[in-house]
């Protein structure tokens, strides 16, 4: 026994070194798991080392918490229900270590659980309570007991009011980050008090709150405020902003999206003092004219501007071109009024642009692409979705000139194989979207597979000419592929899936409407891609129970599955119960599904949180069963959709264009 | 006779005036009978009565036309003349009857003397007031500077020129003046005063019932101080029907009532609101004293602060010196002695209760937030009710309802909490305040059957909402459970 121990070199290493090794392993959860299963001492070391935990169910809390004593970050987003009792267990076993906890998708806990947590875990600095729509002001009073809290997210806590925010403001003096998005009950008084009491605030998200300038005056006095989000604050108007003589000087990022009442008259009041402003979002706001753009002329630190959905004039774009700042990021997504002339005047001045989004700028032509690629050679992200006037020749320019591209969105464009051939020169490309590109074939994608070895995400949705050889080339050339969408690529067969099974990182596979693929192909993916978490095989008619069995056995990380219109029956579904992570299941139009079988499946899959079912089953399942499952944390969506006719991509696109016209 | 003890200071109170008026004018004959019938069985006095009655009415008319008017002066003088003649007649009559009535001579003599004295007194009073009206702007000072029996008779009030000591010597005289009420002319005056008083009262009742704030700096002696007795203050009605004795809160209602007593009360003049003697009548500033000795509002207090109106007196006396017998039916805690205060409270009771951890309540949220922004350590207190699930069991009765409202869900265990025992005492939380950690320890949860909760102790097929509700209601009961040990 003793001899064995000395043989083990890890026994000679101090714990700190092993911790560093574990840190390096941390990216791969399977590796950590394997490490801890080697021997007792490894198990103990790993238990000591782990500081972050993302449990699946609250029933496992006692075991998990006794195994890992040094948890600092607890992510409960996968537990749809956490009771007060479980929470009190957490607050007692992680009393001093816990620093951060995330409840953003969790329900059931109440004020008393939170209070216990706040009182016991004195070192807690971060709480995320987003989407806790039932929480009331009393819960905020409980949160206020966490005196060291620095970060608090209350997005969509619709039931809290000024009183609750007031409690937090008084209790959590160290607060630096607070998100109150969609807390409709919070108004000027609460925010005003927050600004008065929490002097260290540096991030403030007040989106969609019914606030006016009354609280803005106290916000503008915050010395450390760096990021302010005022999206959809309709109560803030130009006239009232004029009162603010010198906005927030420390501001680095401002978001006034959807604030239609803020124009070039009021905006200067907010930002004139903030010479360090780096990021500005004016999406869906008042038209971007030269007078609005002129407000920002002197902000030399400005790096990112988002004007999504605004009406943009040529003059406005020209004025942006004259700013003294050199922009790194510009988003003109869905901006009407963007022309070749305007866009060219911007890009020729801001040559350092890294990210450019011109999604749905339908007036631009090859000329714009030419000037973009000419001026902005260091672009890393370019989104050109649905720029319908741009011809296939223009995409050649992208590949020729922008070699640093990491993200390229060419969805719904005229790009062809020649274009892809040039694009394959972008060796850094990690995300490529070629959905509804009807001109591309295997040839182009083979080039991509050869050139873009760092590809992580590939979207080939409804690019119907693609066949197995393209997928083979991608799978061979891009071993790091994590997401692939081959939906409605009708020539795809099992051979594609067989090739994809060689991508061990694959997490998401969407192959809707690939009617040629069978259970055999799915089996290969299941065996090869252990990380698979999301699988969509809707309308794959040839997939049956034989495909489910290997899935159930090998894809232990599967969290979401769509099996609608497949040939899977009760038995296949029931086998999926062995996947403990499975939370989300869409099972519409399964011919082989019986009410009794469905009931068994639902009971067996204990971790389900969301199930989409045909409405007819609502009356076929025992009501008490449905109630029980709901009490277990499972939500049902009853769908009553009629089976749609199958469309080929071209007629589908034509139909879409008809709809838009 | 109740007049004697009830009216130590002549006309300060209307109710009293009314009582006084009541017999003296309308039941005049009957009232007169008692002194007169004793010594004189003839009908002369009864004949005289209607005559005097007419005079009285004339006089009322005359006195309404103001003294500054030379014609009014003439009226006054002719009235005095008439009066002297009447007195002359009376004395003649007494002399003539002397031999006939021999029953109880002593008593009769006293009565006769009284009668004559009273008449004389009233004549003197009238004379002086007539003379006083001639002095320009001296009227006020005159009345203030010469505290005399006559004046008190004229103005129906007690005048404290500067020396408080006068008060004592004054009272019996005044009481003596009251006895004169049997005679028509003094009745006149008193009626006039009574009307004035009624008028004042009515006006105040129509005004909003706010207590007049202090801070008014009247130089002592420049105003007249009236003091009502406790019984008068607490009397429910202030206007009485002179015929049937029915009481009313408002003079207007009394006037409406009076129509039922005959056509003479239906004339527009009788129904009209008695006019304030428009400007020409000297407006003596009247202030009121609280009868409670030692009260700051009592005239004997060193830093006496007078009350402005009779309504102020009433409200002050009830608020300060009476039991608070009206209890708010909603919260069962707030007590009031003035019913209007209760009504005001009930309007706001329960709603818009903005509560601070220090126990201070605010009717407006912005006021609470202003308070919290100002003071370190104060925090908004969340009403416990909110912690309850909406679908929670409705075992809370009405009385608990109130307690919940006031009881606060306050997690601030700092020192200032102890001071809010009043607020917290309604909840059993108080006992636990000292030990917040133990209060929420898992052990305590177990005592509440919280331990097994993750197993869903309810019937297995139960929907999530009701589980939640159960949990919440359970947690609401929690403080009670641990508070008992």
Which H, E and C letters describe A431-489, residue by residue? EEECCCCCCCCHHHHHHHHHHCCCCCEEECCCCCCCCHHHHHHHHHHCCCCCEEECCCC
* pLDDT greater than 50 at residue A599: yes
Q: Where are the beta strands (DSSP E) in B168-230?
A: 224-227
* pLDDT greater than 60 at residue A236: yes
For B386, the closest of A83, A112, A137 (CB atoms) is A137
Residue B168's pLDDT band (cuts 50, 70, 90): very low
Restricting to B residues 417-436, those with a Cβ less than 8 Å away from any Cβ of A are 436
Return the biggest CA–CA distance within chain B. Answer: 115
Domain ranges of chain A: 9-46
Restricting to A residues 58-97, those with a Cβ less than 8 Å away from any Cβ of B are 58-59, 83-86, 88-89, 92
pTM: 0.63
Q: Give SS3 for A253.
A: strand
Contact A430, A647 (CB under 8 A): no
> In terms of Cα–Cα distance, which of A536, A442, A452 is closest to A495?
A442
Beta strand pairing status for A253-255 and A52-53? unpaired
* Residue A333 CB coordination number (10 Å): 19
> What local confidence, expressed as pLDDT, does residue B112 receive?
77
Distance separating alpha carbons of residues B388 and B473, to the nearest angstrom = 6
CB contact under 8 A, A84 and B453: yes
> What local confidence, expressed as pLDDT, does residue B280 receive?
53
Residue B191's pLDDT band (cuts 50, 70, 90): very low
Q: Which residue of A has its CA nearest to B435?
A: A119
Q: Could you tell me where the DSSP H helices lie in A158-261? A: 162-171, 188-197, 213-219, 238-241
Distance separating alpha carbons of residues A48 and A25, to the nearest angstrom = 15
CB-based burial, B268-292: b 16+ in 10 Å, e otherwise: eeeeeebeebeeebbeeebbbbbbb
B115 CB-side CA count, 13 A: 21
Restricting to B residues 380-409, those with a Cβ less than 8 Å away from any Cβ of A are 380, 382, 384, 386-387, 409
- DSSP state letter for A311: B
* Residue B462 CB coordination number (10 Å): 17
For B411, the closest of A83, A107, A142 (CB atoms) is A142
Percent of chain A with pLDDT over 90: 64
* Residue A61 CB coordination number (10 Å): 23
Looking at CA atoms only, how far is residue B348 from chain A in angstroms?
Answer: 19
Residue B31's pLDDT band (cuts 50, 70, 90): very low
Per-residue 3-state assignment (H helix, E strand, C coil) for A597-654: HHHHHHHHCCCCCEEEEECHHHHHCCHHHHHHHHHCCCEEEEECCCCCCCCCHHHHHH
Q: Out of A111-120, A467-476, B191-200, B221-230, which region has the weakest mean confidence (pLDDT)?
A: B191-200
What is the CA A26 to chain-centroid distance, rounded? 21
Contact A322, A347 (CB under 8 A): no
Q: Which residues make beta-bridge pairs with A127?
A: A101, A152
CB contact under 8 A, A166 and B387: no
> What local confidence, expressed as pLDDT, does residue B203 receive?
37
Q: Give SS3 for A530.
A: coil
> What local confidence, expressed as pLDDT, does residue B134 receive?
65
- Most B CBs within 10 A among A59, A84, A121, A636, hence the mutation to make, goes to A84
Distance separating alpha carbons of residues A68 and A70, to the nearest angstrom = 6
Burial of A40 (0-12, 13-18, 19+ CB in 10 A): exposed
> What local confidence, expressed as pLDDT, does residue B68 receive?
61
* pLDDT greater than 90 at residue A612: yes
* pLDDT greater than 50 at residue B228: yes
For B440, the closest of A112, A164, A623 (CB atoms) is A112
Residue B267's pLDDT band (cuts 50, 70, 90): confident
Contacts of A221 (CB under 8 A, 6+ apart): A195
Burial of B71 (0-12, 13-18, 19+ CB in 10 A): exposed
Burial of B370 (0-12, 13-18, 19+ CB in 10 A): middle
Does B208 reach chain A within 8 Å, measured CB to CB? no
Q: How far apart are the first and last CA of chain B?
A: 67
Q: Out of A37-46, A588-597, B324-333, which region has the weakest mean confidence (pLDDT)?
A: B324-333
> What local confidence, expressed as pLDDT, does residue B352 receive?
61
> What local confidence, expressed as pLDDT, does residue B351 receive?
65
Whole-number average pLDDT of chain A: 89
Q: What is the DSSP string of B395-411?
A: ---HHHHHHHHHSEE--
Higher pLDDT, residue B419 or A494: A494
Distance separating alpha carbons of residues A15 and A18, to the nearest angstrom = 5
Beta strand pairing status for A355-357 and A329-331? parallel
> In terms of Cα–Cα distance, which of A278, A264, A269, A292 is closest to A328?
A278
CB contact under 8 A, A171 and B379: yes
Q: How many CB pairs under 8 A join A and B?
A: 119
Write phi, then psi, for A200 (nearest 5 degrees).
-95, 5
Residue B421's pLDDT band (cuts 50, 70, 90): very low
Taking each helix axis from N to C end, the angle separating B44-64 and B70-97, rounded to the nearest 10 degrees, works out to 170
* pLDDT greater than 70 at residue A661: no
* Residue A640 CB coordination number (10 Å): 9
> What local confidence, expressed as pLDDT, does residue A651 receive?
67
Contacts of A151 (CB under 8 A, 6+ apart): A100, A125, A126, A127, A128, A175, A176, A177, A178
- What's the rounded mean pLDDT across residues A58-65? 88
Contacts of A426 (CB under 8 A, 6+ apart): A399, A402, A403, A404, A405, A406, A408, A451, A452
Distance separating alpha carbons of residues A486 and A512, to the nearest angstrom = 7
> In A, which residues are within 8 Å of B382 by CB distance?
136-138, 140-141, 163-164, 167
Does B451 reach chain A within 8 Å, measured CB to CB? yes
Looking at CA atoms only, how far is residue B335 from chain A in angstroms?
Answer: 28
Q: Give SS3 for A508.
A: strand
> What local confidence, expressed as pLDDT, does residue B216 receive?
58
Distance separating alpha carbons of residues A169 and A161, to the nearest angstrom = 12
Contact A49, A18 (CB under 8 A): yes
> In terms of Cα–Cα distance, which of B315, B294, B339 is closest to B234?
B315
- Most B CBs within 10 A among A89, A167, A196, hence the mutation to make, goes to A167
For B382, the closest of A137, A628, A630 (CB atoms) is A137
What is the ipTM metric for this complex?
Answer: 0.79
Q: Give SS3 for A585.
A: strand
Burial of A254 (0-12, 13-18, 19+ CB in 10 A): buried
SS3 content of chain B, % helix, strand, coil (to 5): 60, 5, 35
Restricting to A residues 93-122, those with a Cβ less than 8 Å away from any Cβ of B are 107-108, 110-112, 115-116, 119-120
Distance separating alpha carbons of residues A408 and A97, to the nearest angstrom = 43
Contact A518, A524 (CB under 8 A): no
CA dist A73 → A70, A102, B20, B305 (Å): 9, 8, 89, 68
Distance separating alpha carbons of residues B392 and B435, to the nearest angstrom = 27
- What's the rounded mean pLDDT across residues A358-368? 92
> What local confidence, expressed as pLDDT, does residue B24 receive?
39
Distance separating alpha carbons of residues A313 and B83, to the nearest angstrom = 103
pLDDT digits (tens, 9 = 90+) for A246-268: 667 888 999 999 988 888 888 88
> What local confidence, expressed as pLDDT, does residue A176 receive?
95
- What's the rounded mean pLDDT across residues B182-206? 40
Contact A168, A152 (CB under 8 A): yes
Q: Out of A468-472, A473-477, B320-324, B443-447, which region has the weakest mean confidence (pLDDT)?
A: B443-447
Percent of chain A with pLDDT over 70: 95
Higher pLDDT, residue B234 or B280: B234
pLDDT digits (tens, 9 = 90+) for A375-420: 999 999 999 999 989 999 999 999 999 999 999 999 999 999 999 9
Highest mean pLDDT among A45-49, A352-356, B86-90, B341-345: A352-356
pLDDT digits (tens, 9 = 90+) for A264-292: 888 888 888 788 889 999 999 888 888 88
Does B173 reach chain A within 8 Å, measured CB to CB? no
Does B161 reach chain A within 8 Å, measured CB to CB? no
Does A331 reach chain B within 8 Å, measured CB to CB? no
Per-residue 3-state assignment (H helix, E strand, C coil) for B216-232: CCCCCCCCEEEECCHHH
Could you tell me the sign of the dihedral formed by the alpha carbons of A191, A193, A196, A198, in that order? negative
Residue B387's pLDDT band (cuts 50, 70, 90): very low
Distance separating alpha carbons of residues A630 and B94, to the nearest angstrom = 109
Helix (H) or strand (E) holding B106: helix B105-132
* pLDDT greater than 90 at residue A468: yes
Beta strand pairing status for B326-327 and B335-336? antiparallel
- What's the rounded mean pLDDT across residues B169-194? 40
Q: Out of A132-136, A588-592, B237-241, B400-404, which region has the weakest mean confidence (pLDDT)?
A: B400-404
> What local confidence, expressed as pLDDT, does residue A456 receive?
96
Q: What is the DSSP string of B349-361?
A: TTSS-EEBTTS-E
């Amino acid at each position: 026994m003793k001899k064995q121990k000395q043989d083990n070199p890890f026994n000679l290493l101090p714990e700190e070194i092993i911790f560093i090794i574990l840190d390096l392993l941390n990216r791969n959860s399977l590796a950590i798991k394997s490490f801890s299963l080697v021997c007792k001492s490894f198990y103990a070391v790993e238990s000591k080392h782990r500081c972050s935990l993302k449990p699946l169910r609250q029933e496992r809390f006692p075991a998990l918490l006794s195994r890992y004593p040094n948890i600092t970050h607890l992510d409960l987003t996968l537990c749809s229900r956490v009771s007060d009792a479980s929470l009190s267990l957490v607050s007692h076993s992680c009393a001093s270590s816990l620093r951060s906890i995330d409840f953003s998708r969790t329900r059931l806990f109440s004020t008393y659980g939170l209070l216990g947590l706040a009182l016991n875990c004195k070192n807690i600095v971060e709480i995320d309570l987003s989407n806790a729509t039932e929480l009331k002001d009393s819960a905020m009073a409980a949160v206020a007991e966490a005196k060291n809290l620095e970060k608090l997210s209350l997005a969509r806590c619709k039931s809290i009011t000024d009183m609750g925010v007031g409690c937090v403001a008084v209790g959590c003096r160290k607060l630096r980050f607070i998100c109150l998005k969609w807390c409709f009950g919070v108004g000027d008084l609460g925010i005003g008090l927050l600004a008065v009491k929490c002097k260290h605030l540096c991030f403030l998200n007040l989106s969609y709150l019914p606030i006016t300038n009354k609280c803005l005056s106290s916000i503008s006095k915050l010395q450390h405020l760096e990021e302010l989000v005022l999206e959809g604050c309709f109560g803030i108007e130009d006239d009232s902003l004029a009162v603010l003589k010198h906005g927030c000087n420390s501001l680095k990022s401002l978001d006034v999206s959807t604030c239609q009442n803020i124009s070039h008259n009021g905006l200067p009041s907010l930002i004139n003092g903030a010479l360090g402003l780096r990021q500005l979002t004016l999406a869906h706001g008042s038209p971007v004219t030269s007078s609005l753009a002129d407000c920002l002329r002197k902000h030399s630190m400005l790096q990112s501007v988002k004007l999504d959905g605004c009406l943009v004039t040529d003059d406005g774009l020209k004025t942006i071109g004259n700013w003294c700042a050199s922009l790194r990021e510009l988003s003109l997504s869905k901006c009407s009024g963007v022309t070749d002339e305007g866009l060219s005047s911007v890009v020729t001045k801001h040559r350092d642009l890294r990210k450019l989004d011109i999604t749905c700028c339908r007036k631009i032509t090859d000329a714009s692409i030419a000037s973009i690629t000419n001026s902005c050679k260091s672009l890393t992200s370019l989104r050109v979705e649905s720029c319908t006037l741009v011809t296939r020749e223009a995409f050649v320019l992208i590949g020729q000139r922008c070699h640093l591209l990491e993200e390229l969105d060419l969805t719904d464009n005229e790009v062809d194989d020649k274009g892809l051939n040039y694009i394959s020169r972008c060796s850094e490309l990690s995300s490529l979207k070629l959905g509804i590109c009807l001109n591309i074939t295997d040839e182009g994608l083979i080039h991509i597979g050869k050139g873009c070895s760092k590809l992580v995400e590939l979207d080939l949705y409804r690019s119907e000419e693609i066949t197995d050889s393209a997928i083979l080339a991608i799978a061979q050339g891009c071993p790091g592929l994590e997401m692939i969408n081959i939906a409605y690529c009708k020539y795809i067969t099992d051979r594609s899936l067989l090739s994809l099974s060689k991508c061990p990182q694959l997490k998401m596979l969407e192959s809707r409407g690939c009617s040629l693929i069978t259970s055999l192909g799915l089996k290969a993916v299941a065996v090869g891609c252990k990380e698979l978490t999301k699988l969509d095989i809707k309308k794959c008619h040839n997939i049956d129970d034989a495909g489910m069995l290997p899935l159930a056995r090998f894809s232990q990380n599967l969290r979401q599955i769509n099996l609608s219109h497949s040939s899977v029956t009760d038995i296949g579904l029931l086998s999926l119960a062995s996947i403990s992570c499975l939370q989300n299941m869409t099972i519409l139009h399964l011919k082989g599904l019986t009410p009794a079988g469905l009931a068994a499946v639902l009971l067996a899959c204990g971790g389900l949180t969301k199930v989409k079912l045909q409405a007819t089953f609502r009356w076929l399942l025992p009501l008490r069963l449905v109630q029980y499952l709901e009490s277990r944390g499972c939500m049902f969506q009853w769908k009553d959709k009629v089976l749609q006719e199958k469309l080929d991509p071209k007629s589908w696109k034509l139909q879409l264009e008809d709809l838009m016209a | 006779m109740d007049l004697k003890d009830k009216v130590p200071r002549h006309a300060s109170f209307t109710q009293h005036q009314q009582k006084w008026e009541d017999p003296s004018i309308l039941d005049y004959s009957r009232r007169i009978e008692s002194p007169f019938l004793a010594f004189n069985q003839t009908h002369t006095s009864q004949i005289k009565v209607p005559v005097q009655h007419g005079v009285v009415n004339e006089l009322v008319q005359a006195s309404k036309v103001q003294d500054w008017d030379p014609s009014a002066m003439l009226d006054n003088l002719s009235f005095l003349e008439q009066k002297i003649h009447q007195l002359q007649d009376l004395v003649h009559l007494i002399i003539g009857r002397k031999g006939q009535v021999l029953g109880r001579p002593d008593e009769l003599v006293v009565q006769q003397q009284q009668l004559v004295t009273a008449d004389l007194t009233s004549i003197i009073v009238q004379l002086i007031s007539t003379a006083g009206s001639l002095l320009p702007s001296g009227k006020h000072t005159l009345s203030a500077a010469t505290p005399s029996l006559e004046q008190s008779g004229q103005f129906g009030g007690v005048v404290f020129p500067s020396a408080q000591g006068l008060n004592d010597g004054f009272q019996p005289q005044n009481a003596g003046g009251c006895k004169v009420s049997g005679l028509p002319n003094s009745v006149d005056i008193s009626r006039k005063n009574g009307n004035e008083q009624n008028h004042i009262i009515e006006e105040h009742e129509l005004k909003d019932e706010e207590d007049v704030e202090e801070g008014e700096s009247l130089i002592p002696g420049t105003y007249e101080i009236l003091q009502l007795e406790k019984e008068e203050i607490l009397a429910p009605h202030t206007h009485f029907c002179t015929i049937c004795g029915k009481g009313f809160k408002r003079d207007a209602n009394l006037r409406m009532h009076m129509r039922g007593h005959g056509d003479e009360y239906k004339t527009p003049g009788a129904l009209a609101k008695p006019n304030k003697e428009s400007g020409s009548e000297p407006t003596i500033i009247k202030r009121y004293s609280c009868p409670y000795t030692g009260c700051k509002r009592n005239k004997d207090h060193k830093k006496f602060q007078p009350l402005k109106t009779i309504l102020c007196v009433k409200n002050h006396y009830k608020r300060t010196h009476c039991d608070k017998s009206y209890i708010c039916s909603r919260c069962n805690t707030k007590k009031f002695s003035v019913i209007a205060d209760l009504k005001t409270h009930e309007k706001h009771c329960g709603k818009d209760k903005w509560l601070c951890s220090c126990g201070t309540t605010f009717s407006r949220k912005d006021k609470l937030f202003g308070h919290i922004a100002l003071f370190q350590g104060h925090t908004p207190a969340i009403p416990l009710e909110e912690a309850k699930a909406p679908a929670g069991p409705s075992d809370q009765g009405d009385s608990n309802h109130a307690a919940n409202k006031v009881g606060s869900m306050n997690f601030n265990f700092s020192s200032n909490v102890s001071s809010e025992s009043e607020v917290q005492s309604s909840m059993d939380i108080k006992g636990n305040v000292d030990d917040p950690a133990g209060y929420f320890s898992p052990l305590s949860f177990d005592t509440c059957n919280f331990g097994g909760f993750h197993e869903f102790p309810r019937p297995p097929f139960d929907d999530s909402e009701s589980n939640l509700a159960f949990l919440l209601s359970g947690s609401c009961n929690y403080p009670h459970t641990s508070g008992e040990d």
